[in-house]
Amino acid sequence: MSKPKVLELFYDVVSPYSWLGFEILLRYKNIWNIDIHLRPAYLGAIMNATGNSPPAMVPKRGAYMRQDVERLTEFYQVPLQQPSDFFEVAIKKGTLSAMRFLTTVQMSHPVFLEEVSRQLWLRIWSEDKDITAPESIVEAAKNAGMPEVLAKNLLSTITSPEVKNKLKETTDQALEYGVFGMPSIVAHIDGKPELFFGSDRFELLAHQLGEKWLGPVPQKSRL
């Protein structure tokens, strides 16, 4: 078998479409010949650097997004639910603390990165819970199987220069690849990085990888 192709997934838990992209890509982890690198980055900085705007800040697009989330939940089999106050939770409070926490998890205990990311998405995009309060982040980590003592220790490091610099470094790397929003997948094919934006480019990604697209829930397609 040929060497697995490296796929970097840049994401922020503020983005519901990032959750979709995250879950779909991981469903193909053992189906495609790929090596997935999860890259938590800060979407707010990406938006500022590229002059982009969150979809919900465009009135017509925001209204469409609410309907879109309902349809996507069933199609992608991801339990999305619009927060009761999206502006307060996602735009005003933001996810900087959460993304710094994921960064320190990645740096010191990467075995927990996938599930802690998922639990943070569940809190904001399924359970309508705040993810900015320290106790909320710790609860997400505990739900991911992380010991509470470890979660609190890691949380105490999120304002350290090392963690801040690592998150900035990852975000800057995303910008260097041309990322302007999330989710963004950078596929390294034949020595060249190729950018795929959004959660609806997997069929094209499969084509570029020389793999077969089996839909968003490939386990069902293979039955």
**Of all residues in the chain, what percent are helix, strand and coil, respectively (each to 5)?**
55, 10, 35
- Are 155 and 175 contacting, i.e. CB atoms less than 8 angstroms apart? no
Q: What is the pLDDT of residue 2?
A: 87
Q: Which residues contact 68 (CB under 8 A, 6 or more apart)?
A: none
pLDDT at 163: 98
Residue 61 has pLDDT above 80, yes or no: no
pLDDT attached to residue 195:
98
Mean pLDDT of the chain: 92
Please name the amino acid found at residue 63: A
Tell me which residue range forms the domain holding 101. 5-221
- In angstroms, the CA 14 to CA 17 distance is 9
For range 100-109, the mean pLDDT? 98
pLDDT of 177 strictly over 80: yes
pLDDT score of 45 more than 70: yes
Contact present, 84 and 90 (Cβ < 8 Å): no
**Higher pLDDT among residues 158 and 68, named by residue:** 158
At 192, is the secondary structure helix, strand, or coil?
strand
pLDDT of residue 92: 72
Mean pLDDT, to the nearest integer, of 3-16?
A: 96
User: Taking the model in full, what pTM does it have?
Assistant: 0.94
Q: Is the pLDDT of residue 1 over 70?
A: no
Query: In angstroms, rounded to a whole number, what is the distance separating the alpha carbons of residues 220 and 105?
Result: 32
| % of the chain beyond a pLDDT of 90 | 78
Contact 47, 90 (CB under 8 A): no
Mean pLDDT value across residues 190-215: 96
Which is more confidently placed, 144 or 55?
A: 144
Band (90; pLDDT cuts 50, 70, 90): low
What total of structural domains would you count in the chain? 1
> What integer pLDDT is reported at residue 222 of this predicted model?
58
Residue 84 has pLDDT above 90, yes or no: no
CATH code (residue 151)? 3.40.30.10
Q: Are strands 184-189 and 5-11 parallel, antiparallel or unpaired?
A: antiparallel
Among candidates 213, 187, 189, 203, which has minimal Cα distance to 32? 213
Residue 221: per-residue pLDDT: 62
Compute the average pLDDT of residues 122-144.
Answer: 94
CA dist., res. 26 & res. 31, Å (int):
10
Asked if the model's pLDDT at residue 223 lies above 60, the reply is: no
Model confidence over 138-158: pLDDT tens digits? 999 999 999 999 999 999 999
- Confidence band of 94 (pLDDT split at 50, 70, 90): confident
